[in-house]
Amino acid sequence: MVRTAVAFCPGHISGYFKKVAGETPETTGSLGAGIVVDEGVRAVASAADRLDVVIRRVDRNGRTLAESVGAPPVEYLMTELGVAARVETTCRLPIGSGFGLSAAALLASATALDALFDLGLGGEGIAALAHRAEVVHNTGLGDVAACQGGGVVCREGPGTAARITRVMTDETIYALSFGPLPTPEVIGSPEQLARVAAAFPPECPRDLAELFAFSRAFAEKSGLVRPEVRAALDACDETGVPASMTMLGLGVFAAGEGAGEVLAGFGELFPLKVAHEGFRLVEVRES
Ligand SMILES: Nc1ncnc2c1ncn2[C@@H]1O[C@H](COP(=O)(O)OP(=O)(O)O)[C@@H](O)[C@H]1O
Ligand SMILES: CC(C)(COP(=O)(O)O)[C@@H](O)C(=O)O
């Protein structure tokens, strides 16, 4: 009999953020706001003799586009938990493009491992461990906290126990990516972080419109907008479509009437729904 645990975690598009450097990974993280989206990472875990992580990216029909082996943050989870498993992650959104997939992979993997080995971590334990793995590997700051639930999300403190507000909406978000912007390169650079901190808007958005307004002001001041992102933002501006840059990736997200049409010419477009819930166990099966 082989026991397999399956879990899912939504992705998170960060609109703006500010690093908070605490004394420990638990108190380190970011303040900021973004959108938890219904596309994310599915993790399938089964017991094995050694740690084995497979990352798979698929198209809308589930066909494999790319597959790679090894993910240090996910391996860190297993080492910390003292377990050995084969973990396969599957996602449709591009990795490294500001969709919070490292956090989604960590939360989905930790949830599957918790169930597979009956570790009893619970939601809070899973989130705390995934957050530590993100911070230790510099792959993210606030995505794990955000993906504990759904909605347009605002994090008012660092870490998974901070105050977080969520606003639900049924609007479609259109996202596209021109390529990766490696998270460690930005959050590992004091100069970049200083610029980002100076651009940080102090308020939480009350709705999607405010999220776009605050995110865009932040993107402009952050110095992170590159020419390809600029071209897509300009096209949105010309037609009055609210849009901003996916942090941290070379991508754009937009919403409202005409958003899909305007962005369609720029590359592969992902229509996304705002997630109504965060990471979760899907099933444990024996076969
Ligand atoms: N889908 C995934 N499955 C497993 N590991 C992942 C996945 N996405 C990201 N990671 C891990 O996180 C690292 C950094 O990802 P990062 O640039 O932060 O991506 P993102 O911006 O999508 O969160 C990757 O090199 C990989 O080790
Ligand atoms: C913006 C970022 C620091 C990284 O996000 P990603 O590249 O999607 O992992 C995020 O974790 C945040 O704190 O808001």
- Within 13 Å, how many C-alpha atoms sit on residue 243's CB side? 28
Give how far the C-alpha of residue 210 lies from the chain's centroid of Cα atoms, to the nearest Å. Answer: 20
Beta carbons within 10 angstroms of residue 286's beta carbon = 7
ipTM entry = 0.97
pLDDT, tens digit (0-9, with 9 covering 90-100), for 194-229: 999 999 998 999 999 999 999 999 999 999 999 999
Residue 245 and residue 219 in contact, taking contact as beta carbons nearer than 8 Å: yes
Same domain, 226 and 91: no
Same domain, 176 and 104: no
Same domain, 95 and 46: yes
CA of 183 to the centre of ligand 2 (A): 7
CA of 71 to the centre of ligand 1 (A): 7
Same domain, 160 and 180: no
Q: What is the domain range of residue 191?
A: 168-273
Same domain, 141 and 101: yes
Q: Report the distance separating Cα 17 and Cα 10, nearest Å.
A: 19
Same domain, 90 and 103: yes
> Which residues have CB under 8 Å from 232's CB, separation 6+?
176, 178, 243, 252, 263, 266
Question: Which residue puts its alpha carbon closest to atom 12 of ligand 2?
Answer: 142
Identify any residues that bridge with 98 across adjacent strands, giving them in sequence order: none
Instruction: State pTM to two decimals.
Output: 0.97
Q: Which two tokens stand for residue 76?
A: 């860190």
> Which residues have CB under 8 Å from 45's CB, separation 6+?
4, 5, 6, 7, 85, 86, 87, 88, 109, 112, 113, 116
Structural domains counted in the chain = 2
| Helix extents (H) in the chain | 72-81, 101-116, 122-137, 143-146, 183-187, 190-199, 208-222, 227-238, 259-264
Q: Which two tokens stand for residue 102?
A: 């490292």
Same domain, 132 and 228: no
Residues near ligand 1 (Cβ within 6 A):
41, 55, 71-74, 89, 91, 95-96, 98-102, 105, 139-140, 182-183, 249
Same domain, 59 and 132: yes
pLDDT, tens digit (0-9, with 9 covering 90-100), for 23-82: 999 999 999 999 999 999 999 999 999 999 999 999 999 999 999 999 999 999 999 999
CATH number assigned to the domain comprising residue 154: 3.30.230.10
Tell whether the model's pLDDT for residue 287 goes beyond 90: no
Same domain, 152 and 209: no
Q: Is residue 102 very low, low, confident or very high in pLDDT (cuts 50, 70, 90)?
A: very high
Q: Is residue 170 very low, low, confident or very high in pLDDT (cuts 50, 70, 90)?
A: very high
Q: Report the distance separating Cα 98 and Cα 176, nearest Å.
A: 10
Q: Is residue 139 very low, low, confident or very high in pLDDT (cuts 50, 70, 90)?
A: very high
Same domain, 48 and 188: no
Tell whether the model's pLDDT for residue 183 goes beyond 90: no
Give how far the C-alpha of residue 6 lies from the chain's centroid of Cα atoms, to the nearest Å. Answer: 19
CATH number assigned to the domain comprising residue 258: 3.30.70.890
Same domain, 120 and 184: no
